[in-house]
Amino acid sequence: MSPHILRAAAAAVFAGCLSAGLPAQTFETLASESFEYAPGTPIHDAAGGTGFVAPWWSYDAVNSGSIVTTPGFDAVGEKATTVLDSAGAWRTLDVGPHLALTDDQWPGFTGRPLYGADNTVLWVSFTAQRVPGGDDEWGGLSLYIFFGGEFMFLGSPFGTYEWGFGVPGLTSGTVPGSSVDVATRLVYRFEFLPGDERMQLWLDPPVDHPDPGVTPPDLEFFIPDFRFDEIRIDSGADGLGLAVGYDFDDIRIESEISGPEYTITNLIAGQIATFTVTNATPGNFVVIGYSTAGPGPTSTQFGDVMMSMPISTFPALPADATGTVTLTQFVPANLAGVQVWSQALELFAGGGGILSNPLAEVIQ
């Protein structure tokens, strides 16, 4: 696609193309499971969903630790319900298509790629509830290394009856006032850093991927460094003979695509200003939009841009080998004191794009 066509497409977006209901292209689904199987059947050997290399597996091939029940919590499919105390059901993730998110130097697993490379961000979300009338002491989804053990527990730690997390043998935490007896959407964000990782949890957030700067998490912890390539659903420790189990539905594991970073320097009337975009994918075209009409937002197929109509654009330019685009522009002398709202857009080669941070600057 030529730069002229790319610029025209981006200009159309920045000029106020109404959103067609498409989400901003900032997240990629690595794996998902909504349990679209026949009600009453065990999930052992069930092979639906996406992003896995093998079917569900359980110690008990007959009952599988979990069965498919109806209705589900989401708009499609059914749900999985644990029916055996501490039996569990595991499924291995397909990390092969996403090696940029993996680390193959994890102690004891050198040469084997595992999710959790430093400087990546992953989201894990699911809907869960203790079955009505149940008395299980714990239940949740765990992050495992296949034949390597459990590294992170997401759900309700033993004896808390609230939603939270647990690091096996080390620490745990819950959201005060939450209840396992209420169907809840648990959304976890893991920022994999050199050293400890940052974990953030939202319960029933208004959007799929809350912005921590806008919607503070219900729970936030720094947790020990970990990696994973497998998930498990499980519950247990009931001792009163009541109904066993937790319900699980709409499991998603997603990566957060780090968007371009946008800065302006020397925005002075009668001088040359420099517009810089970093952290783009080398070779992708980047276009910068600007407006003097106001801060928006204006809805587009790439998300809300923080500029009001009318919106103008500079020519689309390709990011260099370091992911950087630099544009210089003369600022007319008569524009001193004018406020400018501006934002960049990185266009993906296969379609879609991702917005940068917005800027609001006054021409000096």
What pLDDT was estimated at residue 10? 42
What pLDDT was estimated at residue 300? 85
For domain 3-22+259-362, say whether CATH 2.60.40.10 is its number: yes
Edge-to-edge strands, sheet with 89-92:
89-92, 230-236, 138-145, 149-156, 164-167, 171-174
What pLDDT was estimated at residue 267? 96
What pLDDT was estimated at residue 241? 62
Q: Where are the domains of the chain?
A: 3-22+259-362, 27-256
pLDDT tens for each residue of the chain, 364 residues long: 333 333 433 444 444 332 222 233 368 899 999 999 999 999 999 999 999 999 999 876 665 689 999 999 987 889 999 988 888 899 999 999 889 889 999 999 999 999 999 989 999 999 999 999 888 999 999 999 999 999 999 999 999 999 999 999 999 999 999 999 999 999 999 999 999 999 999 999 999 999 888 899 999 999 999 999 999 999 998 666 666 799 999 999 999 877 788 999 999 999 999 999 998 888 999 999 999 999 999 988 877 899 999 999 999 999 999 889 999 999 999 999 999 999 999 998 777 788 888 999 999 9
User: Would you put residue 352 in left (φ > 0), alpha (ψ -120 to 50) or beta?
Assistant: left
- Copy the structure tokens of residue 204: 């029933």
> How many whole angstroms separate alpha carbon 80 and alpha carbon 287?
45
pTM here is 0.71
Q: Cβ of 225: how many Cβ atoms within 10 Å?
A: 15
Q: Which has the closest alpha carbon to 37: 89, 86, 85, 87?
A: 89
What pLDDT was estimated at residue 26? 67
Question: Which CATH entry fits the domain spanning 27-256: 3.40.50.150, 2.60.120.200, 3.40.50.300, 3.40.225.10?
Answer: 2.60.120.200
Query: What is the C-alpha end-to-end distance of the chain, expressed in Å?
Result: 37
- Copy the structure tokens of residue 181: 């007896």
